[in-house]
Amino acid sequence: MSERGYAPITVIPLLKAKTLSAGDSATSDPIDLRESVKLGVFSISYSATLGTAGTLGTSTFTYLGCPTHGGEYVCPAGTVGNSIGSCGTGGTKGIMAFKPELMPFMKIVTTQEGTGNAGKDSILTAELIVQ
């Protein structure tokens, strides 16, 4: 497809049936955005189902950036926050769009609500979709 202005959509797996209990978090591998992002359009596709405790808590997605693959990933300075969005209780699926700061490398962090033995857990699958 060598049409002028053509920008393919890239899907990058983040989590695959990952169980998160109350207070847990999962961080993606570094995502190289240098070649996969052409238009700066970002979204997360997600699916959350009941965990082993038979409950489904709220999971929050955030992002971290870094100028190098192996460097320290941080919340971008000068932003209101690095929040992408949350998926809540009740067995949810959806897509959430977000606009990150310009960065060559990114990690997505998913955090499950609660602390200790609050009993909230979820099984999550998520992909980063970029264009």
In this predicted structure, what is the pLDDT of residue 106? 95
Which residue, 2, 76, 60, 1, is CA-closest to 27? 60
Q: In this structure, are residues 74 and 31 in contact, taking their beta carbons and an 8 Å threshold?
A: no
Domain hosting residue 126, numbered range: 21-130
Spatial CA neighbour of 18 closest among 127, 109, 126 = 126
CB 12 within 8 A of CB 31: yes
> Token digits for 3?
């049409």
Is residue 6 assigned to a domain?
no
The reported pLDDT for the residue numbered 1 is: 47
In a domain, 36, yes or no: yes
- Residues 114 and 57 sit within 8 Å (Cβ to Cβ): yes
- Residue 21: CB atoms within 10 A of its CB come to 19
**How many structural domains is the chain composed of?**
1
Strand partners, 21: 121
pTM given for the model: 0.84
pLDDT at 7: 78
Contacts of 60 (CB under 8 A, 6+ apart): 83, 85, 86, 110, 111, 113
pLDDT in tens, the chain (131 residues): 455 667 789 999 999 999 888 888 999 999 999 988 888 899 999 998 877 666 677 889 999 999 999 999 998 875 556 889 888 765 589 999 999 988 999 999 998 887 665 556 788 899 999 99
Distance separating alpha carbons of residues 49 and 18, to the nearest angstrom: 10
- Does residue 60 belong to any structural domain of this protein? yes
Residue 8 domain-assigned? no
Q: Domain of 80: which CATH number?
A: 2.60.120
Residue 29: its pLDDT value, please?
Answer: 95
Q: Give a yes or no: residue 120 inside a domain.
A: yes
* 121, part of any domain: yes
Cβ proximity of 21 and 51 under 8 Å: yes
In a domain, 113, yes or no: yes
Residue 55 domain-assigned (yes or no): yes
